[in-house]
Amino acid sequence: MQTKPISDYLIEKASGEKVYFESDKLVNSLIRSGAGEELANRILQAISLELHDGMHTREIYRKAYQILQKQERKTAVNYRLKQAVLQLGPSGYPFEYFVGELFKARGFKVDVGKLVNGYSVRHEIDVVATNGHKQIFVECKFHNYQGTKTNVIVPMYIRSRFDDLNRGRNAVKQPEPMPMQGWIVTNTRFTEDAIKFGRDYGLTLLGWDYPQKGNLKEWIELERLHPITSLSSITRKEKEALLDKGIVMCHDLYQRMMNGEHLPLSPRNFRASKRELKVFIE
């Protein structure tokens, strides 16, 4: 159920030749373009999620440079990022939507809160991300306090749900079923037992600083996707009112402002936040 090593993917060169993906070539090309080694490796980690057999080298490099350009345009917009994500509560739904936006940025079609038939029962999946080559079922575990950890009970429960979904899919006749993955995403951390269970049973765990490379914090920073709770120009009450209206992302808020939509902001904070938003989206 886990994604195979990136060096095992056969990709297509401009000549039509099929070769195994060489991560060093991508990293070196990014470094030659001005990226630091650490940033180049983080971009490689991001690209690995989208790799599939038959992917063209041109598409790989285009995606890599798109991420690089986001980094080079602005580098000082991640202040208080962890606290901003913690403020997406208390219901947890804004966090699910936020995670969905991260997958969209990586080229996935996303459904939030989707009902999917398993073999025995129907399951409500927090995020279903599909890109034509794989389908990822994501369970989002949101915590309001950064000291709270997601324990082993969660991956044990998710594994049973994933098995039922997988069995249900296999019961339906189809020529080549799309590869499936089970993910758990949390805005805090996992216990050691949770990490071990996830690793042993083929689940992908994504926490604030787990794994060491390609974690949630790095993903947000690379894609430059920030929740409206990152804004310092509006009050907490105004942030909560915006979240209640389903406005989670900075780019969504800015677009609604430009469309002239009535928003629960004071005139003064409306003007101030509009100026601040340009830092996050440009």
Length of the chain: 282
Residues 88 and 230: their CA atoms lie apart, in Å, by 10
- The answer to whether the peptide bond before residue 90 is cis (omega within 30 degrees of 0) is yes
Q: Is 79's pLDDT higher than 60?
A: no
Q: Is 282's pLDDT higher than 70?
A: no
What is the chain's mean pLDDT, rounded? 88
Q: What is the pLDDT of residues 44-69, one digit of tens each?
A: 988 988 888 999 988 898 888 778 76
Task: Dig out the tokens for 129 from the structure.
Answer: 């991300």
- pLDDT score, position 1: 45
* Alpha-carbon distance values, 139 to 69, 142, 182, 275 (Å): 30, 10, 8, 35
Tell the residue number behind the tokens 């920073």, with chain if given: 221
Task: Dig out the tokens for 168 from the structure.
Answer: 């249900």
Give per-residue burial for 207-221: e unless 16+ CB within 10 Å, then b. bbebeeebbbbbbbb
pTM of the entire structure? 0.76
Task: Dig out the tokens for 44 from the structure.
Answer: 């490689």
Q: Are 182 and 202 in contact (CB under 8 A)?
A: yes
Instruction: Calculate mean pLDDT across residues 239-248.
Output: 93
Of the ranges 4-18, 47-61, 184-198, 227-241, the best mean pLDDT one: 184-198
- pLDDT score, position 78: 53
Residue 260, number of CB atoms within 10 A of its CB? 7
Q: Choose among 249, 279, 247: nearest CA to 263.
A: 247
- pLDDT score, position 172: 75
Residues 155 and 112: their CA atoms lie apart, in Å, by 20
pLDDT band at 175 (very low <50, low <70, confident <90, very high): low
Q: Are 157 and 182 in contact (CB under 8 A)?
A: no
Instruction: Calculate mean pLDDT across residues 237-250.
Output: 93
74 or 9: which leads in pLDDT? 9
Q: Are 81 and 220 in contact (CB under 8 A)?
A: yes
Q: What is the pLDDT of residues 121-150, one digit of tens each?
A: 999 999 999 998 899 999 999 998 878 999
Q: Is 75's pLDDT higher than 70?
A: no
> Residue 166: which H helix or E strand, with range?
helix 153-171
